[in-house]
Amino acid sequence: MATTTYLEAIREGLWEEMERDPNVFCIGEDIAVYGGAFKVTAGFLEHFGEKRVVDTPISESAIVGAAIGAGFIGLRPVAEMQFADFITCGFDQIVNFAAKCRYRWGAGVPIVIRAPSGGGVHGGPFHSQNPEAWFAHVPGLKVLCPATAYDAKGLIKSAIRDNDPVLFFEHKALYRRIKEDLPEQEYTVPIGKAAIYRDGTDLSIITYGAMLYEASQAAGDLAAEGYSVEIVDLRTVFPLDEETVLASVRKTARAIVLHEDTLTGGIGGEVVARITEKAFEYLDAPVVRIAAPDTPVPYSSPLEQAFLPTAAKVTAKARWLLQY
């Protein structure tokens, strides 16, 4: 086993799939000569050549459109949005075309769109958003938000092998901060399946992405007070693994749904709705959402820290729930 960062895990998964399948190629801004804004594809041009690592103009709609066309002729493109925020420029191509081709005329669109997302890096309102909820409302798409290096590698491989469009949101603040020992043998992680990151009996925290680590710190703090917290890492936010979420809540009888995205219209509202519809009789307290406030992401460091959900905020709300 080798210690690997979250960024290197994505890089390894992508490299392995390009080695395995000559139809896989990368397309995006500055991904070839420069090696990508975050260096995920550094060295890919030299190894795979310019036909499989393609630099593009600054036009996300063109990148997505070219990827869709390539998918139609049997290729498996991996398109990079330099920052997830700019995916808006390709929104029409993704939601009105790629997502609906399977339904309309049986055509799969085997594309992956990589989107570096999230705050905590002082990127301001145009380079820090978490846009996953925009797409989790669109039938025909799969939306992935890995939190660990193991899942990042396994899910990028599964995404590339999928025959329909997959959005892969990778959190920038995790790139070089999260490290993990990964198996040397090949593996994949199934799309649409959550993971129990931590077992517990008193409270469930349902989360994904970078908030997994805020939840983990809060669970550790609460353990010192004698409370047992279970953490469910969704990994895939659409389709949602309802079975794992409900099983956890039925066991603990209390739940917090935590995400970094802003509160209104976020993934948390959908999770809470399913819990109240299908596990209401098991609850001993209200289901609580913790998320960012409904404002743009601040650039200022102290304002960004106030904006982002933190372990301290989770711990405080958990204490209230546990004593309800």
Percentage of the residues of the chain whose pLDDT score is greater than 90: 99
pTM for this prediction: 0.96
Mean pLDDT of the 73-95 span = 97
Percentage of the residues of the chain whose pLDDT score is greater than 70: 100
Fold of 2-182: Rossmann fold (3.40.50)
CATH topology match: 2-182 vs 195-322: yes
Confidence of residue 2 (pLDDT cuts 50, 70, 90): confident
**Pairing outcome for strands 76-80 and 142-144:** unpaired
Residue tagged active-site, from 127, 137, 171, 259: 127
pLDDT at 73 over 90: yes
Of the options 3.40.50.920, 3.30.230.10, 1.10.8.10, 1.10.10.10, the CATH number for the domain spanning 195-322: 3.40.50.920
127 is catalytic: yes
DSSP assignment of 168-215: EEEEGGGTTT-EEEEPSS-----TT--EEEE--SSEEEEE-TTHHHHH
pLDDT at 1 over 80: no
Encode pLDDT of 259-288 as tens digits.
999 999 999 999 999 999 999 999 999 999
pLDDT at 310 over 90: yes
List all residues 6 or more positions away from 303 whose beta carbon is below 8 Å from its beta carbon: none
How many other β-carbons are positioned within 10 Å of the β-carbon of residue 111? Answer: 29
Burial class (CB in 10 A: 0-12, 13-18, 19+), 310: middle
Q: Which residue ranges make up each domain of the chain?
A: 2-182, 195-322
Nearest to 177 by CA among 154, 152, 197: 152
> 229: which DSSP letter?
E
